[in-house]
Amino acid sequence: MPRNGTSASVSRRRLAGLSLAALGVVFGDIGTSPLYTMKECFSEFTGLKPTHEDVLGILSLITWTLIIVVTLKYVTVVMRADNRGEGGVLALMALIARRAGLPAGRRNFYVMLGMAGAALFYGDSLLTPAVTVLSSIEGLNVATPAFQPLVVPIALGVLVALFSVQRFGTGGVGRLFGPITLLWFSTLLLLGLWQIVQTPQVLAALWPLYAVDFAIRHRFVAFVALGAVTLAVTGAEALYTDMGHFGRKPIRLAWFGVVLPALLANYYGQGGLLLADATALENPFFRLAPQWALYPMVVLATAAAVIASQATISGAFSMAQQAALLGLSPRVRIQHTSASEFGQIYVPAINWIQMFGVAILVLSFKSSSNLAAAYGIAVTGTMLVDSILVSALALRVWKWGWPLTILVFGGFMTVDATLMSANMLKFLEGGWVPLAMAITIFAAMWTWMKGRMAVAAREQEGSLPMETLLSSINPSRVHRPQGTAVYLTAFSGNAPNCLLHNLKHNEVLHEQVVLLTVEVPDEPYVPPNARAHVAHLGKGVHHVVLRYGFMEQPDVPRDLAPLAERGVPVDPMRTSYFVGRNSFVPATKPLLPRWQEKLFLVLARLASSAGDFFGLPANRVVELGSRIEI
């Protein structure tokens, strides 16, 4: 009996620890939404004034948007759609591709949807650091207008510092994220409750008819206001994306136990403050705090904004790794920043692109209000993609049937489409920015995927079956030095080009030859016992398939070493890795449209080497170049 009690106690402590960690990683973005949401709901763009009826109407809209979009859709339904524990738009896309049994045409449609969701996420990953850090620093304006000229420089300094430390890893600082975010949500709760006690009439907005009445009275203006209400749910997708790190239960516990009560209390507190003092509209979040607490609140809000930004930066690193492994983007150089923490990675190219992109956004828009106009489209677009993908899963894998699927996901898609349409009204005020970024990234992903298919088709032309090559080898003319040669190839029964080049020009074929194919199935992790498949082709030639999940970092030398006991002699000191270094040139009869061909050539030049990506030792890699017409 004591043993069971101890086990239960340990389980509760572990659940509490995971829930605390989830606060710092999962809820940073949505947790900083109170910094700007209420202010934007009554901005010049909506034209609304903080009257009693309109404050209650906006609060009711925020309340039921949080309940429908976050609680019902993501926490209750979408989080069921895990790909072996992992969430996120690419994991969801891969899950549908693997389990739904779709024909090729339909599968391509869902792949395109997944790429669209990933492209929108990248846009969000630029906007979140810019808008959250700017809005937190703007709290200084509440103290004195003298700080106004310093807001943008200070925000830029904080953001540049944040991106500059990424290469050192965030493991040590990351342990503070949970406690700091808990302090942040506790502060949101207390400030909100203090004001609610003074203006309890705002609690009437919990009744959904206030939202309905607001919509009937204002009609088109209410539709416009939905664009600002969307800001209350920015970051909702993170609940699903980060599910693999913490699990469903800790995220749900943190949401219901801490985040939702704190958010609602703070929004209602800001609403109560506006009813008591309409001049607080200047910055209702910071005006909730007493005067003596203003500067500590700015510091705490900045820390919360940095944590929210860190979550999106890390998410962009993970997305880049997944996209490269799934063949949706060029290979990128990945550095591991922790020997013990899985998933702690740093992608230099993505980091610096993000930093310059965020800096340009801050310098161009100059305030959180201006940036807020661009924020909602990326968020609602991603939400709509999630709804479409999960509805396909519900219909084909969960076997819900058409009536239930239409009832549930038809409702979610209606809400998502309505919110997205409302945000599209801000297209000219900055809404075009995330759409332009998403279209550019989507075009690059689609081009890379089609380009790889074109390259494979060209390599297939004039290829030589491996059996034919082995039977034609003349032992007296081909030198077979001792040691092992590993050739990276998408093996389809044919000899890889780099092997043919080595044989043709050098007349060399090592004593042991490994044709290595790296496969990435539509699943996040591959168990160790399914990692390697070995086939012996004869004459010292072996075909090895190494399988990695799209959440894993390939390490070829590590996974080849144990294969010696399976008849594949790979001695680290006597093994050379031969990698094809292809250069692409335009063909007289191109396989791609001209614009796509040019874009693919640019992307191919930017791709990191296969040796770096697969963890090959630099002093054992031989690159053999060839020209391929596409």
3-state secondary structure of 573: helix
Give me the pLDDT at residue 1, please.
43
Residue written as token pair 């086939």: 535
Instruction: Domains for the chain: give ranges and CATH numbers.
Output: 2-450 (1.20.1740.10), 464-629 (no CATH)
Question: Per-residue pLDDT tens for 344-363?
Answer: 678 888 999 999 999 999 99
Question: Per-residue pLDDT tens for 457-495?
Answer: 887 776 788 888 888 877 777 888 888 999 988 767 788
- Dihedral of CA atoms 136, 138, 144, 149 in degrees, nearest 10, equals 130
d(CA 288, CA 194): 9
Residue written as token pair 């109560």: 272
Q: Which helix (H) or strand (E) holds 451?
A: helix 432-460
Distances (CA, A) of 87 to 232, 461, 550: 22, 39, 12
Give me the pLDDT at residue 2, please.
45
Mean pLDDT by 10 residues, the chain (630 residues): 53 82 85 92 90 96 96 93 83 80 75 91 87 90 81 93 82 74 96 96 96 94 93 88 82 94 97 94 92 91 90 85 88 72 74 92 88 83 92 90 94 95 88 89 93 83 80 78 89 80 82 91 87 90 92 90 90 87 75 87 85 87 77
| CA atoms in the 13 A half-sphere facing the CB of 236 | 31
d(CA 24, CA 254): 10
Strand ranges inside 17-115, DSSP E: none
3-state secondary structure of 623: strand
Residue 242's nearest CA partner among 4, 42, 513, 27 is 27
- Tell me the whole-structure pTM to 2 decimals: 0.85
Strand-pairing partners, residue 581, are 625
3-state secondary structure of 267: helix
The sign of the dihedral angle between the CA atoms of 85, 86, 91, 92 is: positive
Distances (CA, A) of 277 to 50, 62, 141, 269, 369: 9, 20, 18, 12, 21
Question: Cα 606 to the chain's mean position, in Å?
Answer: 21
Residue 214's nearest CA partner among 68, 69, 53 is 53
Q: Do the beta carbons of residue 118 and residue 319 sit within 8 Å? A: yes
Question: Per-residue pLDDT tens for 141-160?
Answer: 887 787 888 899 999 999 99
3-state secondary structure of 525: coil
Torsion-angle region of residue 172: left (phi > 0), alpha (psi -120 to 50) or beta?
alpha
Q: Do the beta carbons of residue 542 and residue 513 sit within 8 Å? A: yes
Q: Residue 479, class by beta-carbon neighbours within 10 Å (0-12 exposed, 13-18 middle, 19+ buried)?
A: exposed
Residue 130's nearest CA partner among 297, 422, 375 is 375
Give me the pLDDT at residue 338, please.
59
Residue written as token pair 């493991």: 171
Task: Return the structure tokens found at 326.
Answer: 């799934």
Which residues, other chains included, contact 466 with Cβ-Cβ below 8 Å and sequence gap of 6+? 491, 493, 494, 495, 515, 537, 541
Give me the pLDDT at residue 101, please.
66
Reading across the β-sheet that carries 512-519, which strands appear in turn?
A: 532-538, 541-547, 512-519, 484-488, 575-585, 621-629
Give me the pLDDT at residue 124, please.
82
d(CA 181, CA 139): 18
| CA atoms in the 13 A half-sphere facing the CB of 168 | 8
Q: Do the beta carbons of residue 562 and residue 546 sit within 8 Å? A: no
d(CA 328, CA 453): 11
Give me the pLDDT at residue 340, please.
47
Residue 285's nearest CA partner among 277, 273, 300, 299 is 273
| CA atoms in the 13 A half-sphere facing the CB of 43 | 20
Mean residue pLDDT of the chain comes to 87
d(CA 236, CA 381): 12
Task: Return the structure tokens found at 617.
Answer: 């030792």
Q: SS in 3 state form for 115-184?
A: HHHHHHHHHHHHHHHHHHHHHHHCCHHHHCHHHHHHHHHHHHHHHHHHHHCHHHCCHHHHHHHHHHHHHH
Give me the pLDDT at residue 613, please.
86
Task: Return the structure tokens found at 223.
Answer: 């539709």
